[in-house]
Amino acid sequence: MTTTADIHEPKFMAGDEFSIPTFRLLTQDGTLHEGAEAPELDRDKARHIYHAMVATRVLDERMMAAQRQGRLSFYMQCTGEEAAVVGATAALDDADMIMAQYREQGALVYRGFTFDEFMNQLFGNELDYGKGRQMPIHYGSRKLHYMTISSPLGTQIPQATGYAYGQKLAGDGLCTTVFFGEGAASEGDFHAALNMAAVHKVPVIFFCRNNGYAISTPSIEQFAADGVAPRAFGYRMHVIRVDGNDVLAVYQATQQARRLAVEQNQPVLIEAMTYRLAAHSSSDDPSGYRSKKEEEAWREKDPILRLQRWLIARDWWSDDEEKALQESLRREVLETMKRAEKRPPPPLDSMITDVYADVTPALQRQLDALKSHIRQYPEAYPKGARSLDPDVTRRDDNADKGES
Amino acid sequence: MTTTADIHEPKFMAGDEFSIPTFRLLTQDGTLHEGAEAPELDRDKARHIYHAMVATRVLDERMMAAQRQGRLSFYMQCTGEEAAVVGATAALDDADMIMAQYREQGALVYRGFTFDEFMNQLFGNELDYGKGRQMPIHYGSRKLHYMTISSPLGTQIPQATGYAYGQKLAGDGLCTTVFFGEGAASEGDFHAALNMAAVHKVPVIFFCRNNGYAISTPSIEQFAADGVAPRAFGYRMHVIRVDGNDVLAVYQATQQARRLAVEQNQPVLIEAMTYRLAAHSSSDDPSGYRSKKEEEAWREKDPILRLQRWLIARDWWSDDEEKALQESLRREVLETMKRAEKRPPPPLDSMITDVYADVTPALQRQLDALKSHIRQYPEAYPKGARSLDPDVTRRDDNADKGES
Amino acid sequence: MPTLNMLQAINQALDIAMAEDEKVLCFGEDVGGFGGVFRATSHLQERYGKARCFNTPLVEQGIIGFANGLAAQGSVPVAEIQFADYIFPAFDQIVNETAKFRYRSGDLFNVGGLTIRAPYGGGISGGLYHSQSPEAYFAHTPGLKVVIPRNPYEAKGLLLASIRDPDPVIFFEPKRLYRASTGEVPEEDYQLPIGEAEITREGTDVTLLGWGAQMEVIDKAVELAEKDGISCEVIDLRTLLPWDEDTVAESVLKTGRLVVTHEAPQTGGFAGEVAAAIQERCFLYLESPIMRVTGLDTPFPLTLEKEYMPDHLKIHEAIRASVNY
Amino acid sequence: MPTLNMLQAINQALDIAMAEDEKVLCFGEDVGGFGGVFRATSHLQERYGKARCFNTPLVEQGIIGFANGLAAQGSVPVAEIQFADYIFPAFDQIVNETAKFRYRSGDLFNVGGLTIRAPYGGGISGGLYHSQSPEAYFAHTPGLKVVIPRNPYEAKGLLLASIRDPDPVIFFEPKRLYRASTGEVPEEDYQLPIGEAEITREGTDVTLLGWGAQMEVIDKAVELAEKDGISCEVIDLRTLLPWDEDTVAESVLKTGRLVVTHEAPQTGGFAGEVAAAIQERCFLYLESPIMRVTGLDTPFPLTLEKEYMPDHLKIHEAIRASVNY
Ligand SMILES: Cc1ncc(C[n+]2csc(CCOP(=O)(O)OP(=O)(O)O)c2C)c(N)n1
Ligand SMILES: Cc1ncc(C[n+]2csc(CCOP(=O)(O)OP(=O)(O)O)c2C)c(N)n1
Ligand SMILES: [Mg+2]
Ligand SMILES: [Mg+2]
């Protein structure tokens, strides 16, 4: 029921009556905008953020190169969007749940997911927590409170509402942050999630990375509105739009959003305006649908450089440190990649575990039949045949699965 | 991409910055609000509207009584919402497509669906255009451009967007109006429909009957926002909120919405504020979830009485006419009901027709087997056994099926 | 022992589960104060508060998405879909998410706490959209469990087991039996096994297999058949996924004949799975083809519902055909 | 005759259909200027304009809802779902709406003009969500037609027939063959029949039945079996709903043996339907149980995909088992 004023002439509104400004703190020079104040952020934390952004960038560049060399089947970069994801993650409690779409590796890096852990997933080897079942980039970590990625778009959004509702009942003062693209926000699940969060007063932060594209589809073909932010009004939800390439602004906005969520059970929508600088994925070539010029313009808004300049101006970072960091990261990527590539695939039994909590008799029969088949044709199934060999020491499935 | 202003301090908005007023013309006395002007509406049309509203009310009352007597399996009233639906329909071109939810019998009455046609559907007899396949109230009429009702909520909303897109390509100057409840607007299909309509500039009117309840669920448990109207801003769509019990306001708002749709390919959202005065359906008893007092307050806002007073004040209607109309309508309902009840059920063959354009061999086999089974046990299947009797003259299935 | 109808038995199971474990939540459309359109959740909001039993907005994909998240968090959601006909907007959340949550994460995360309740089936003059039996869609989805009770006693014991099962369960309730089926139901907490079929009647000539409301129909058909001198063994499958092949196969090895019945359309229905698996396992013992008595391959009708339904007469005919093959 | 791959054949079919009838529209995610992530709709926007070939927002339930409305209006929509794994958000619009539109309205309205195209199937290292074969879900839904081509020639002829068919068709494209399968395809307009299976190889000892990419796998298995001296009859089902029972039954009456294969999980898969129907029709002629060679009853894996797939070796073993039963 509504309690609004009356009018006696028909008057249509279309939302042009108001507009949602963009919150920015840092200029591309690394200086603060006039009138802007930096958020409270100590040297260590600022360097942690910077380190995570750079490590993410290096990982992305190297792994895309590895994919081009045929070492990896598939990869997705988040180049250009590091500030949005890392900045948001830095503003959260480390025990807050994160539900990501697939372009949020920066959050994992920030929380301490090791390159080894990344690599094991990317190569789907026996140490992959996901047991080699999902495509590369479908990371997950229980100990880092990072929900395993699932490819269907939008599904994680109402799940985040539910997860956060559980957190609220548990009363542990934690919240959930869910990341999604401006494309995924068109799914029906988005509507369900935001409406339910507002009705049930759920401590959840909906973080939309508006990076301008959903594969080849530009955002003007995704929605007619001024971005995703105005949708919050339809749910009476708090909303803020932020410069997604400005890590300080993202950090501060998310910090305050978290306060609204955890202290007042107010869900919040954050729209981070940014740009997907790389291709959608290793299977994509953006030259078919956008101009180099457009890309160049955004390359000049590089979020990492922006933060670096700010740090250097404060003497919190130096060129030497930069060089050393870049080198060590590159070395680490190569070493961990080599290790992961060499690791054996998950054992045959992993084909039928985790479908249910306990293996069903029917599945056991199917596995047994498969095993005798593979025994007959071991060369045809080199990965499977490995685990038939009684000499292969199988890892304890339950050890160190990112549990704690 | 957005072109909004910058801010350098985080500021959250929640839509309380603006509010959507309610458009009203008629007071409950039947006089115009101060400053209000009646829409252009001649005597005949005004009486047509009034007649349709009264006929709808009478039909609802009688059929609910028939249901209570056990003559009918199920019924749904639209009592209290006649102005919203009839007013909107009167503002449309008669060839505009209407896609309804299930509480829009007023639109059919206005367009000339006869009581016989209503009754044949309600009793699922051999003259029912829907061949006795759907529950009562699932009307449809091709000749009246009224899409057959389907029970799943929300599905008709994106269908309306698609239908209207086809109308736009056909260039025939027509549009589609889709009716739905404030409950159904929570479905994912709503989000899909409005967004697609705005992006593709589709001549469609989204008409939300906000009647306060979805079965037992009050609208405050349906959404936290001030109604459904503010969602339009999220799609950059024109929107108007109107007093749904004020037929003149609904008429004028819809007329102007239609102009936006047809002349400018601008989809429009109309939210009509009204109240479901009766139970949700014949299976429901509202005393379990709302107060008599609340109902009473709304009963005083009766939309029919309001229009009647306006008409009488203009000398376009009289008490005598009212009496005569009521009597003739009641008589007609009773007569047509009796006729429909006596009509035989649809023939057995109708069980397998219309699954596909042509009956498949497998379905023919299933029907043949069923027929021989029924021949063995005719008493167990009285309805089916009827059509096995070669003496039963079967109606030509294609004659007069509301086609033209 | 008190006599309850199926709704009362279900309500009791929910009550017990909520009383025992505060992580158990019940929600869905009209589930809160009103207690659900069938009143299966009556009084639960009164007893356990609005935070644990509540109305949701009208959006099935949201209900199950929300429930998936809750379950992943460690809560034990019991989500109601008002009619099984309206479970389809949640199909993606169920089939792509619920079913694959544990597997895809290598068991880092799971939604095993989730139970989805939905009234299903025909015989109530519901037409196309209040009559469907969609169990076969879910039974083709590894990672789900699909459970269907045949009477109040089974409903209570199977629902309690479903709520506590470590895997997500879709619990379809034969709504035609909600008030029509009554029986003795112990007041205390008890569970019936998931994944196990039950032989409800022993016999030697032919095996009859069904689930849910069809069990009552089978019983009527068996009465007729026994008058013909045919000895019938009757099995309630109870869990469709993972289903108890062994019990069915053993019975068919004994009787040599099998009739399977369900209300859903025949093509692609779950009887097909049963027939395929059993003909493979019992090939040399089968004395006649496995027969299916099902709904027609059409949407669910209204006026001619009686004609559509796989009733006791049709099953009786199938038994005869099977025995006289 | 020019040699095309399957994508080119599909693109040609769409081109012909759009050129011939201005009511034909193609849309979906990335379908417009970019021509689709697999490029099946390349150049169509250039040729027929943005109004007839366009990107939609990223919302499958909206794409099919919109398409249903368009089809009801009299247009001929060809909607693309980017991967069959993402068809589930549209499940309600397909199963409750598309499939029942004509029936529920007594043929006042229909969406017969609708065709839904979706790449499906495994073998491309796609893991859980770029590999699924969901055909059985739709084959349990009366009112739909389900069509699957095995090569470029079939793809063009069946797609043109699907677009022009008076009923809604779900057209699943085996994406593993998109570029891998090439063959001669006539440039002109032609149609292949919907609802008819095709015997692609005659034989006497055992019948092999499949569809889509499995046909290639069957052929490899048959080569092995023929070396063993087993004469195989091979049938491409082509249309799963309504399926051509007669052709399959006639073949099995001749060979006495049947092996059915699909990639989808076994339980509830369409092979079950085929086995159930054929054992009933051919009971006295069957010399061994009907066998199924399918995916495992698990979600689709990645690293161990090869182990999961119903490949030629597994089919070959099934043929042997069937013949040596
Ligand atoms: C339900 C569903 N539909 C389609 C896809 C295929 N798909 C993968 S990514 C993508 C675009 C997503 O765009 P956006 O949400 O903006 O995220 P971004 O890639 O820009 O980070 C599409 C269509 C999918 N994964 N899931
Ligand atoms: C998809 C779906 N979910 C649930 C239902 C059951 N149902 C029928 S009417 C109704 C409430 C609808 O409320 P609203 O949209 O506000 O319309 P009103 O009845 O108030 O006119 C519900 C939940 C349904 N028909 N379809
Ligand atoms: Mg994007
Ligand atoms: Mg309502």
Q: Do B113 and B54 lie in a common domain?
A: yes
Q: Do D142 and D256 lie in a common domain?
A: no
In chain B, what's the furthest Cα-to-Cα distance? Answer: 85
Question: Residue B304's pLDDT band (boundaries 50, 70, 90)?
Answer: very high
Question: Do β-strands D258-265 and D206-210 pair in parallel, antiparallel, or remain unpaired?
Answer: parallel
Nearest-CA distance D211 → chain B (Å): 20
Whether residue C82 has its Cβ less than 6 Å from ligand 2: yes
Q: For B351-373, what is the mean pLDDT?
A: 98
Whether residue B153 has its Cβ less than 6 Å from ligand 2: yes
pLDDT for the residue numbered B390: 61
Q: Which of C103, C273, C297 sits opposite D267 (nearest CB)?
A: C273
Give the distance (Å) from ligand 1 centre to CA of residue A215. Answer: 7
Q: Do B172 and B319 lie in a common domain?
A: yes
Measured between beta carbons, which residues in chain B are less than 8 angstroms from residue D142?
355
Specify whether the CB–CB gap between C322 and C257 falls below 8 A.
yes
Nearest-CA distance A242 → chain D (Å): 23
Give the distance (Å) from ligand 4 centre to CA of residue C14. Answer: 28
Q: Which of C140, C143, C275 sits opposite D269 (nearest CB)?
A: C140
Question: Do β-strands A22-23 and C258-265 pair in parallel, antiparallel, or remain unpaired?
Answer: unpaired
Q: Do D46 and D173 lie in a common domain?
A: yes
Whether residue C173 has its Cβ less than 6 Å from ligand 2: no
**Chain B: touching chains (3 or more CB pairs < 8 Å):** A, C, D
Residue C54: alpha-carbon gap to chain centroid: 24
Question: Do β-strands D169-174 and D115-120 pair in parallel, antiparallel, or remain unpaired?
Answer: parallel
Predicted ipTM beyond 0.95: yes
**For all residues of chain C together, what is the average pLDDT?**
98
Q: Do D154 and D285 lie in a common domain?
A: no
Per the structure block, which two tokens stand in for A285? Answer: 């070539």
Q: Do C138 and C277 lie in a common domain?
A: no
pLDDT for the residue numbered B3: 54
Q: Which of B133, B169, B191 sits opposite D104 (nearest CB)?
A: B133
HSE (side-chain half, CA atoms, 13 Å) at B333: 20
Query: What residues of chain A, 6 to 35, have a C-beta less than 8 Å from chain B?
Result: 6-25, 33-35
* Residue A4 touches chain B, beta carbons under 8 Å: yes
pLDDT of residue B173 exceeding 70 = yes
Percentage of residues in chain C with pLDDT exceeding 90?
100
Q: For A221-233, what is the mean pLDDT?
A: 97
Q: Do B248 and B103 lie in a common domain?
A: yes
pLDDT of residue B50 exceeding 60 = yes
Q: For A90-107, what is the mean pLDDT?
A: 98
Give the distance (Å) from ligand 1 centre to CA of residue A179. Answer: 12
Q: Do A288 and A383 lie in a common domain?
A: no
Q: Do B163 and B300 lie in a common domain?
A: yes
Examine the fold and report which residue of C161, C184, C207 is the final residue of a domain before the chain moves on. Answer: C184
Within a domain: residue C60? yes
Q: Which of B119, B366, B383 to mutate to test the interface with C (most CBs of C within 10 A)?
A: B366
pLDDT of residue C40 exceeding 50 = yes
For the question of residue C184 being annotated catalytic, the response is: no
* Residue B85 touches chain D, beta carbons under 8 Å: no
Question: Residue A99's pLDDT band (boundaries 50, 70, 90)?
Answer: very high
Answer whether D37 sits within 8 Å of A215, measured CB to CB: yes
pLDDT tens profile A162-186: 999 999 999 999 999 999 999 999 9
**For all residues of chain B together, what is the average pLDDT?**
95
Using CA atoms, how far apart are residues A41 and C214, in angstroms rounded to an integer?
67
pLDDT for the residue numbered B388: 87
Within a domain: residue C191? no
Percentage of residues in chain B with pLDDT exceeding 70?
95
Whether residue B135 has its Cβ less than 6 Å from ligand 2: no
Atom of ligand 1 nearest to the CA of A211: 20
Q: Do C129 and C157 lie in a common domain?
A: yes
* Residue B395 touches chain D, beta carbons under 8 Å: no
Question: Do β-strands B268-273 and B238-243 pair in parallel, antiparallel, or remain unpaired?
Answer: parallel
Q: For A235-242, what is the mean pLDDT?
A: 97
Q: Do B358 and B304 lie in a common domain?
A: no
Q: Do C49 and C158 lie in a common domain?
A: yes
Helix segments in D100-227, DSSP class H: 101-104, 135-139, 152-164, 214-227
Within a domain: residue D193? no
Residue B346: partners with Cβ closer than 8 Å, 6 or more residues away = B124, B125, B126, B128, B131, B132, C303, C304
Within a domain: residue D189? no
Within a domain: residue B13? no
Q: Do D203 and D178 lie in a common domain?
A: no
Give the distance (Å) from ligand 2 centre to CA of residue D43. Answer: 43
For the question of residue D130 being annotated catalytic, the response is: yes
Residues facing residue B270 across a β-bridge: B207, B240
pLDDT for the residue numbered B17: 73
Which residue of chain C has the CA closest to D99?
C299
pLDDT tens profile C242-301: 999 999 999 999 999 999 999 999 999 999 999 999 999 999 999 999 999 999 999 999
Q: Do B288 and B373 lie in a common domain?
A: no
pLDDT tens profile D204-233: 999 999 999 999 999 999 999 999 999 999
Nearest 10 degrees: CA dihedral of D7, D12, D18, D24? Answer: -40
pLDDT tens profile A269-302: 999 999 999 999 999 999 999 999 999 999 999 9
B344 backbone dihedrals φ, ψ, rounded to 5°: -70, 160
pLDDT of residue B166 exceeding 50 = yes
Nearest 10 degrees: CA dihedral of D263, D293, C112, B217? Answer: 60
Question: Residue B15's pLDDT band (boundaries 50, 70, 90)?
Answer: confident
Answer whether A10 sits within 8 Å of B22, measured CB to CB: no
CATH at residue C308 = 3.40.50.920
Q: Measured between alpha carbons, how far is residue A395 from residues A349, A392, A399, C156, D308 in Å?
A: 12, 9, 8, 42, 22
Indicate the pTM of the whole model. Answer: 0.98
Percentage of residues in chain B with pLDDT exceeding 90?
93
Q: Nearest Cα to B7, choosing from D161, C319, C11, A19?
A: A19
Using CA atoms, how far apart are residues C249 and D152, in angstroms rounded to an integer?
43
**Chain D: touching chains (3 or more CB pairs < 8 Å):** A, B, C
pLDDT for the residue numbered A394: 46
Within a domain: residue C90? yes
Q: Do B352 and B336 lie in a common domain?
A: no
Question: Residue B16's pLDDT band (boundaries 50, 70, 90)?
Answer: confident
- Compute how many other C-beta atoms are within 10 angstroms of the C-beta atom of residue D202: 11
Nearest 10 degrees: CA dihedral of B333, B334, B335, B337? Answer: 80
Within a domain: residue B16? no
Q: Which of A128, A129, A196 sits opposite C62 (nearest CB)?
A: A196
Measured between beta carbons, which residues in chain C are less than 8 angstroms from residue B222?
57-58
Q: Do A353 and A214 lie in a common domain?
A: no
Q: Do C204 and C142 lie in a common domain?
A: no
pLDDT of residue A1 exceeding 70 = no
pLDDT tens profile C113-122: 999 999 999 9
Q: Which of A73, A346, A351 sits opposite D298 (nearest CB)?
A: A351
Q: Do D135 and D211 lie in a common domain?
A: no
Give the distance (Å) from ligand 4 centre to CA of residue B183. Answer: 5
Within a domain: residue D192? no
Among residues C29, C80, C97, C130, which one is catalytic?
C130
Domain that holds residue D225: 198-323
Within a domain: residue A167? yes
Nearest-CA distance C65 → chain A (Å): 5
CATH at residue D47 = 3.40.50.970
Measured between beta carbons, which residues in chain A are less than 8 angstroms from residue B223?
195, 198-199, 235-236
The total number of structural domains that make up chain B:
2
pLDDT for the residue numbered A395: 47
**Chain C: touching chains (3 or more CB pairs < 8 Å):** A, B, D
Residue D16: alpha-carbon gap to chain centroid: 21
HSE (side-chain half, CA atoms, 13 Å) at C94: 31
Whether residue B211 has its Cβ less than 6 Å from ligand 2: yes
Within a domain: residue D190? no
Which residue of chain D has the CA closest to A353?
D298
Domain that holds residue B336: 22-342
Q: Do A315 and A190 lie in a common domain?
A: yes
pLDDT of residue B18 exceeding 90 = no
pLDDT of residue A367 exceeding 90 = yes
pLDDT of residue B404 exceeding 50 = no
